[in-house]
Amino acid sequence: MRCQNRINVINHSESNSQIHAQIVNDLKEMLDQHNVLTKSFRMVRDRFQIDQSADVKLRLIGKRGSYGRRYNLPTVSEVAALVVGDFEPTSSDRDIIIESHYGQLKRISELNAAYLDGYTMIESSRLLFYRLHQTHLRADFYKGLQEAVLQGDTQPSSKGQRVILSSSFTGGTRYMLQNYQDAMSICKWAGYPDLFITFTYNPKWPEITRFVNSRGLAPEDRPDIITRVFKVKLDHLIKDLRDNKVFGQIKADDDPIDVVINKPTIKEFKFLSWFEANKEFPEAIDLTYAEFSLKFVWKQQSKRWDKRKTSAFSIGRIFFVPPGFGEQYYLRLLLNIVRGPISYEDIRRINDIDHETFRDACYALGLLDDDKEYVDAIVEASHWGMPSYLRQLFAMLLISNSMSHSEVVWQSTWHLLYEDILHEQRRVLDNPGKTYIWKTLSAAIRSKGDVVLTVASSGIASLLLPGGRTAHSRFVIPLNITEDSTCNLKQGTPLAHLLIKTKLIIWDEAPMMHKHCFEALDKTLRDIIGYKDATKSELPFGGKTIVLGGDFRQILLVIPKGS
């Protein structure tokens, strides 16, 4: 009967009279069995058949990964888009309605005990904490924080960089990175492991089945019990391997890693105490900074290093510093080589020669190359490549931090990199367009003494703007951008003060950038400007006026799975 009713709806003309009832019935059964939306409508229908007075609404929450019409050809010459929610903190995407034993319906939160999605509840609660405490989660150098305290600035949100997920969040990127570095430190000292043992939980463990069966639950309903049982069994496994020596004598493990010298605090000054220990103990002069915890232990109460009185030891690890950090990176290199220094000057003293910077000391030790191969590569490429290609090559070398002395490479090759820039500028001035508007707009505002920042998505476009920079360079946008990324920009820096004083930001070639770049800038501006004025933290881009320009017609079509 239902199939015939559907046929009658559209069977109003002779052209539709040949509809096959069996085909319609097969389609209906296929949708009922496999289509999620159809199942939802059937569920609501069944609910109405039970109680027609129930106030029930079917709400479909769109979580589509991509827009179906994204790759269609444009139908108009100008496009405007308003994306709701992209720049505002979004709430939960779950709309949960439960039915009690008495037949009553009630809308509940996803954190309600009646909603038995245990893992999601726990993870959502943890993530919610980090979202609500973003102003308190900062990352900065210890030196910068010490200077802030000495200046009387005790507000943590006034210093550092906004951090989305800290290393204490289990499973996060920083958490995994720290564990990896700890493991590599052990491998450096003890050698690579012979066995890689994995340990997973079994829902059929008697401890778990006994607990959930007595309460009429399934194992996935109580992730907390699974976690506790797993931790108990994991601890027993490690204890059995260590104490019973199943695989022989234990050579190293990562239990004492929390007391090694790579985790100093602001008040304890372990690094400076290392200098003092090198003066006091003759044995210390033969150890590097990373090796120091093998024979010495940090005394928490006395705030000093003492010789170990037992055969126990701890494997030390110096915290990773990327090459882009400059002098901190070169200091880290030296701490793995220099033994027994008593001051920073000793670290920079190589072969009885004092060097002004840590980088010069690394160069004297032969830790850095002379970059001649990069100069030769650019000169060779100039014989067949255009200057624009040479500039891209030089930019890639800068981004990858491959060069030890980038300024030397620049001085040796700049005449090859700039050849066509003047020609490009003349060509643009002869054909005024939106670049002319950007120049006029910025000149008008700057004439009043206000600050205007002009950026572009590409390096060539930025050269055409007065005082132009690429967006990644000006706002320090990460190269590997994600939805949780923020700009590598800290409170209290000159760039932060410049952004606070900025009246207008002009962003050319904006359609070429991923939306995560704009979101990163939005979160960073809200954080920096919101510290001075809390009301601005609720406004897009912290209340700053931003002009986005570009031409959608210049963007090539994206062909899914195209070669």
Q: Which residue has the tokens 């989305």?
A: 164
Instruction: Return d(Cα 367, Cα 213) in angstroms, integer.
Output: 63
Position 313 pLDDT exceeds 50: yes
Provide the H-helix boundaries in 253-314: 270-280
Tell me which of 31 and 128 has the higher pLDDT. 31
pLDDT at 323: 66
pLDDT at 26: 85
Count CB-CB contacts under 10 A for residue 289. 23
Tell me which of 501 and 3 has the higher pLDDT. 501
Position 518 pLDDT exceeds 90: yes
pLDDT at 11: 62
| pLDDT tens digits for range 47-62 | 777 776 666 667 766 5
Cβ within 8 Å of residue 45, ≥6 positions away: none
pLDDT band at 311 (very low <50, low <70, confident <90, very high): low
Looking at mean pLDDT, say which of 219-223, 234-238, 424-428 comes out highest. Answer: 234-238
pLDDT band at 151 (very low <50, low <70, confident <90, very high): very low
Task: State whether residue 302 is helix, strand or coil.
Answer: coil
pLDDT at 454: 92
Position 205 pLDDT exceeds 90: yes
pLDDT, mean over the chain? 76
Instruction: Return d(Cα 204, Cα 201) in angstroms, integer.
Output: 9
Tell me the helix, strand and coil percentages in the chain, rounded to 5.
50, 10, 40
- Partnered with residue 99 across adjacent β-strands are 105
Position 445 pLDDT exceeds 60: yes
CB 174 within 8 Å of CB 167: yes
Tell me which of 344 and 81 has the higher pLDDT. 344
Count CB-CB contacts under 10 A for residue 520. 25
Helix (H) or strand (E) holding 173: helix 173-190
Instruction: Return d(Cα 144, Cα 140) in angstroms, integer.
Output: 7
pLDDT band at 66 (very low <50, low <70, confident <90, very high): low
Instruction: Return d(Cα 162, Cα 400) in angstroms, integer.
Output: 24
Tell me which of 45 and 433 has the higher pLDDT. 45
Between 116-125, 189-198, 204-213, the lowest mean confidence (pLDDT) is in 116-125
pLDDT at 368: 74
Q: Residue 518, Cα to own-chain centre: how many angstroms?
A: 15
| pLDDT tens digits for range 526-548 | 988 888 888 888 899 999 999 99
pLDDT band at 260 (very low <50, low <70, confident <90, very high): very low
| pLDDT tens digits for range 470-483 | 999 999 998 888 88
Position 262 pLDDT exceeds 80: no
Instruction: Return d(Cα 471, Cα 457) in angstroms, integer.
Output: 6
| pLDDT tens digits for range 459-471 | 888 888 888 899 9
Share of the chain above pLDDT 90, in %: 10
pLDDT at 233: 93
| pLDDT tens digits for range 120-144 | 667 777 777 777 776 666 554 444 4
Task: State whether residue 107 is helix, strand or coil.
Answer: strand
- Mean per-residue pLDDT for 314-338? 77
Position 232 pLDDT exceeds 60: yes
pLDDT band at 65 (very low <50, low <70, confident <90, very high): low
Tell me which of 133 and 440 has the higher pLDDT. 440
Cβ within 8 Å of residue 523, ≥6 positions away: 162, 486
Position 509 pLDDT exceeds 80: yes
Tell me which of 325 and 470 has the higher pLDDT. 470
Count CB-CB contacts under 10 A for residue 548. 13
Cβ within 8 Å of residue 351, ≥6 positions away: 364
pLDDT at 308: 81
Q: How far is CA 344 from CA 140, 331, 545, in A?
A: 21, 9, 46
CB 441 within 8 Å of CB 453: no
pLDDT at 35: 83
E strand spans, 12-144: 96-99, 105-108, 138-139
Nearest CA to 60 out of 84, 43, 79, 78 is that of: 43
Position 146 pLDDT exceeds 70: no
Cβ within 8 Å of residue 239, ≥6 positions away: none
What's at 175, amino acid-wise? Answer: Y
Instruction: Return d(Cα 218, Cα 550) in angstroms, integer.
Output: 55
